[in-house]
Amino acid sequence: MSVLVQEKALHVCLVDHQGKKLLHKNFATKTPERLLVALQPFHSRDLILGCESTFNWYWLADLCHQQNLPFLLGHALYLKAIHGGKTKTDRIDSEKLAMLLRGGNFPVSYVYPKEMRSTRDLLRRRCCIVRRRSATIVHPQMVNHQQNLPAFPKPISYKSNRRGIVERFDGDSVRRMIQLDVDLIDFYDEQIKRLDLYLEQHAKIDDPDTFYRLMSIPGVGRILAMTLLYEIHDIGRFAEVGHFLSYSRLVKGTNTSAGNHYKPTGAKIGNPHLKWAFGEAISLLKRQLPVATKHQRR
């Protein structure tokens, strides 16, 4: 059975081993009980539920876990192949997904466990907040350059270095704008500090052994250790090292046909958070271990 989850509706298509449609109907997302009632007669048929990986699959995976229903999460980018055709609707897509699942051609993504999923999402949200803080720090420097003033003597990313930067600008509106930036940076600093404490406490509860082992790696601090911990979760889900490297976006894809090589594809397939974490870790590793820099040069 395949399910296409939208904001207000579930597009359900249930087929048997012979490809015969047993159920093809829409259900309201706010009333999942109706879906469970409709599936009750088919529980004896080795029912497997497949769903495309959209942003709103969490509740459906948890519901299947509660009802002891096998749940498969389809890889959204690998499923782009089903979208070909003159007519594309959710009803048609749900049937195509069901046929892929029946034939064993359903590309599967990892279903992250509910117990750690919210903490992982909060850690990802922290990255967005940090980027906003960085953008806010850049703005006073742009205004300073616009006004043709001398560069700030020290980095204003530190709170002690932001004292008195408002007074160096002329004009009430400009000063009000810079003061707004300073207030926002102070606000972000306080929120990020609270987030870091909260996330570290949860990491020590969820998997303290792995967290401290990651912290022992040169170049890996608290944030990178938590990113690796929550984004990888279970290293055993990767059958080979190459699969893990591909998932982390550390290797490029290949695109060849008839002996000709073309531009690699699949640049967006993988985990961008792991790619960022490993990129940061390598830079910090070379600072702490000169032998790493020598190895890279060699």
> pLDDT per residue over 244-265, tens digit each?
999 999 988 888 887 788 887 7
Residues 100 and 121 in one domain: no
Confidence of residue 230 (pLDDT cuts 50, 70, 90): very high
Q: Which two tokens stand for residue 127?
A: 């990255």
Residue 192 lies in a domain: yes
Residues 123 and 103 in one domain: no
Residue 220 lies in a domain: no
Q: Evaluate whether 155 touches 141 at the Cβ level (below 8 Å).
A: no
The domain in which residue 190 lies consists of: 114-206
Overall domain count for the chain = 3
Residue 211 lies in a domain: no
Residues 8 and 100 in one domain: yes
Residue 212 lies in a domain: no
Residues 242 and 144 in one domain: no
Residue 133 lies in a domain: yes
Residues 8 and 103 in one domain: yes
Q: Of the candidates 109, 140, 156, which is a domain's last residue?
A: 109
Residues 177 and 118 in one domain: yes
Q: Of the candidates 191, 206, 221, which is a domain's last residue?
A: 206
The reported pLDDT for the residue numbered 238 is 92
In this prediction the pTM is 0.85
Would you say residue 83 has pLDDT above 80? Answer: no
Residues 289 and 267 in one domain: yes
Residue 101 CA to residue 1 CA, distance in Å, equals: 7
Confidence of residue 84 (pLDDT cuts 50, 70, 90): low
| Helical ranges in 67-152 per DSSP H | 90-103, 114-146
The reported pLDDT for the residue numbered 185 is 96
Residues 125 and 174 in one domain: yes
Q: What angle do CA 126, 243, 207 make, to 5 degrees?
A: 45
